[in-house]
Structure 1
């Protein structure tokens, strides 16, 4: 039973390589969050990229002057 106003959660188990776990851990530290927060944000970012691709758009990383530097491909 969840407290009123809480979203129900589903627990999953993941088998990660030590290298991927280390990356997950470092990212959690960098955002001052936990592993779940990193995964939630990663999924949200992936969702944006996939939706853009489906609409024929491109996903880019821009510098501070809005110059396009890197296109994210392979999604």
Structure 2
């Protein structure tokens, strides 16, 4: 992809429930970003999770001592 292609944007419209829209806005505030940044990061995280699952790996949340607390399933 050319440098010009990387900067291109496509505008989409989404129909979200009020609850999902509120969550999107809250996440944007928490990361000091905007709604587009939240969606881009969410897509990147889902892409990583799907690739890991396809390779037979698992996604976990660990505490500061690297103790596994929660497995992310359903992806």
For the aligned residue pairs, the C-alpha RMSD in angstroms reads 1.4
Counterpart in the other structure of 2:27:
27
TM-score (normalizing by structure 1)? 0.92
The reply on whether 1:70 has 2:70 as its aligned counterpart is yes
* Aligned residue pairs, count: 72
| Cα separation, 2, equivalents of 1:15 and 1:30 | 22
Query: How many Å apart are 1:8 and its aligned residue?
Result: 0.4
Structure 2's unaligned 5+ residue stretches are none
Counterpart in the other structure of 2:46:
46
Query: How many Å apart are 1:5 and its aligned residue?
Result: 8.6
| Cα separation, 2, equivalents of 1:46 and 1:27 | 16
